Chain A
Amino acid sequence: MNERPMVEIRNLKKWFPLKGSFRRKSNLKAVDGVDLHIYKGETLGLVGESGCGKTTIGRTLIKLYTPTAGEFLYRGKGASDNGIDIFSLSESMMRSFRKEIQMVFQDPYASLNPRITIHDIIAEGLRVHRFGRNKEERKEMIAEVLEKVGLRSEYMYRYPHEFSGGQRQRIGIARSIILNPDLVICDEPVSALDVSVQAQVINLLEDLKRDLRLTYLFIAHDLAVVKHICDRISVMYLGKIVETAETDELFNNPLHPYTQGLLASIPIPNPHLRKIGKRQLVKGDIPSPVDPPQTCRFVKRCPKAFEKCSRESPELNEVKSGHFVSCFLY
């Protein structure tokens, strides 16, 4: 991959100041210096356990949160080859890029307004971005997008509560793709769904990506899903990226001790490959992201930690072509 990435995120930080702390200000450092590249047409997986900051990254990228620091260089549709820093755009300038960067949310129950019809939910974006000349034309576009995500177009005058979880997630996807975006950020799009429905939505996301030439940032905690859908994967731990590699490389040759432990922890749905009683466990719990130490974040749980690890913070380095890891072992 010699082309320049469509999205380059540099040193992204999102800190949440905590109130009520006497004398000293503390910060919840949800995202603390993250670099990510996303190439046109690929699916980049962002995985990690709860509290690692993966959802915060997604929300900061669409400016639901104001970033504390960092750059978000975008070279997709409407931007020059050198890229535009989305974070430095004014609100009015931002508007034209908002339609290029869309999001599918985790909870299909909370992310659709229960008081308005599916038509109105999807039409909102069309109106704001002045798609379609009139109501009739917009209605046609909505009918078309509903068919595209596998729903009947006559459903558009129904309300969200009339749909199942899987159907609601299809509606959320319809809302995000109708503006013909470049990049879709999928934040745990299938984790609230039942197994049989999850497969339907995964297949839909894959079909849409191919048909509409989309690029995905796929945020999830389920590594089996991520392996299935992603071309490359970044693993996060406590606000930092610990490892990034192509999917098969990451699974066959995980380098960071956290990635190794994470992969070993997954229960495999095949009793012949049972690991119970034999696996190397990651000990302890995920520490708090409030004022984390400026050392390796994984040091307290790491079976391979040595003296340097509790002194300094490792950089994310490329140790092999396309394989980045943030660990002093390499």
Chain B
Amino acid sequence: MEKILKVENLKISFKTQLGRITPVDGISFELSEGETLGIVGESGCGKTITAFSIIKLLPKNAFLGENTRITFRGRDLAMIDKEDLQRIRGKSISMVFQEPMTSLNPLYTIGWQISEVYKLHEGLDESQAMQKSIEMLGLVGIPEPAKRVKEYPHQLSGGMRQRVMIAMALACSPMLLIADEPTTALDVTIQAQVLELMNDLKSKFNTATMIITHDLGVIAEMCDRVLVMYAGQIVESSDVFRLFDNPLHPYTRGLIHSIPRIEVKKLDQKKLNVIEGFVPHPSKFPEGCRFRPRCSFAMEKCVERPPVYLTETGHTVSCWRFEGSELYE
């Protein structure tokens, strides 16, 4: 299958009052056509700005590392000009944000907002674009779409707004959809509706999808492959089954064992496993392995940054405990 996105050595730094901080520090990954990749991690691990960097939505005080290369279908995204970027953004790559209220414009009807995409990218006229918008709203499961296009975002519920966002994102059948915590703001019954919808549409359009979330349940339901991020680095990656069956990195293990298991009977539940301490701020990332201060397996060697190993089980893992495995790239 065609690799559509290739991120190499992504490094994102900010100039701040605290000096220069680097919340994303040297991560690499690829995404193939039709694949769903999950990026999981806790707040501050850098997962959201990783997504923003791909569609160039980083704030002005951010800058990328010298060796960073983001390639989308063979084109280096750093090299393209503003006009080309406009053409790619919203058409070939689109994004669904976490908070559907703040990402829709409250002053325009939802019909206007979706048809803008068609007018801009496909050159349709007003009435054609509106017709397409109504079709798309129907496709994402909004009842009475012809009536709803005339409504404003505040007239819709949170779940409906997120459907509108998805309709807008998928309007031009993008090659790559980036969804940043798409269901975090939603209630559980509505979350299930939106996840089902995303799954349906993915099989219909064969869109490569990147789902960014802190919720291991969403990862397990939706993803083919998973990257686990901690403090700006990828600590482990593998396909979703292997990751849950046999997590290797102490952080992944800690994370998976610290969530209450809903599928286990109450009587059989044990005390939750705890990762001591908390996620460090990007200005205070420790030297060497960044998980070292919280790791129960930490050893002397961990003061050096561990390389990425490819294990026999097919995981990549960045931890000295796997020294002796094959080095990855």
A50 touches which of B43, B187, B199 (Cβ 8 Å): B187
Is the CB–CB distance between A227 and B260 below 8 Å? yes
- Given the contacts A221-B188, A224-B260, A248 and B220 also touching, CB distance less than 8 Å: no
Alpha-carbon separation in the docked complex, A138 to B43 (Å): 36
Are A275 and B221 in contact, with the CB atoms below 8 A? yes
Contact of B157 with A by CB under 8 A: yes
Q: List 23 A-B contacts (CB under 8 A).
A: A49-B189, A164-B278, A195-B214, A195-B216, A196-B42, A198-B259, A202-B260, A223-B188, A228-B266, A229-B260, A248-B265, A266-B188, A267-B195, A267-B218, A268-B263, A270-B220, A272-B241, A273-B220, A273-B263, A276-B222, A282-B192, A285-B159, A286-B187
Chain B nearest CB, measured from A227 CB (Å): 6
* Nearest-Cβ distance from residue B286 to partner chain A, whole angstroms: 16
Among candidates B189, B240, B254, B267, residue contacting A196 with C-beta atoms closer than 8 Å:
B254
Tally of A-B Cβ pairs under 8 angstroms: 147
Alpha-carbon distance between A49 and B220 when the two chains are bound, in angstroms: 22
* Inter-chain pairs besides A196-B274, A276-B199, 8 sampled, C-beta below 8 Å: A195-B214, A197-B278, A202-B260, A203-B272, A267-B217, A269-B244, A271-B240, A279-B192
Instruction: Report chain B residues within 8 Å CB of A316.
Output: none
Given contacts A203-B274, A227-B262, A277-B199, whether A282 and B43 have CB atoms under 8 Å apart is no
B275 is an interface residue with CB less than 8 A from chain A? yes
Binding site for A on B (CB under 8 A): 42-43, 157, 159-160, 187-193, 195-196, 199-200, 214-222, 240-241, 244, 254-256, 258-263, 265-267, 269, 271-276, 278-279
Residues from chain A with a CB closer than 8 A to the CB of B192 are 264-267, 279, 281-282
Is the CB of A315 closer than 8 A to any CB of chain B?
no
Minimum distance in angstroms from A284 CB to a CB of chain B:
9
* A261 neighbours in B (Cβ, 8 Å): 189
What is the minimal beta-carbon distance from B318 to any residue of chain A, in angstroms? 18
Query: Known contacts A194-B278, A198-B258, A285-B159; is A276 also within 8 Å of B196 by CB?
Result: yes
Name the residue on B nearest A165 (C-beta).
B278
Question: In the complex, what distance in Å separates the CA atom of A267 from the CA atom of B244?
Answer: 14
8 Å CB interface, A270-303 against B? 270-277, 279, 281-283, 285-286
Among B159, B265, B272, residue most surrounded by chain A Cβ atoms (within 10 Å): B272
Q: Within 8 Å CB of B199, what residues of A?
A: 276-277
Contact of A285 with B160 in the complex, beta carbons under 8 Å: yes
**Cα distance, A266 to B256, chains bound together (Å):** 16
Cα-based distance from A197 to B244 in the complex (angstroms): 20
Does A270 contact B279, Cβ atoms closer than 8 Å? no
Give complex CA distance A194, B191 in Å: 19
Interface residues of A in 51-76 (CB under 8 A from B): none
| Chain A residues whose CB sits within 8 angstroms of the CB of B273 once the complex forms | 199
> Is A262 interfacial (CB-CB < 8 Å)?
yes
- Chain B hits for A197, CB < 8 A: 278
Given contacts A267-B195, A269-B244, A272-B241, contact A195 B259 (CB under 8 A): yes
Q: Which of B160, B188, B273 has the most CB of A within 10 A?
A: B188
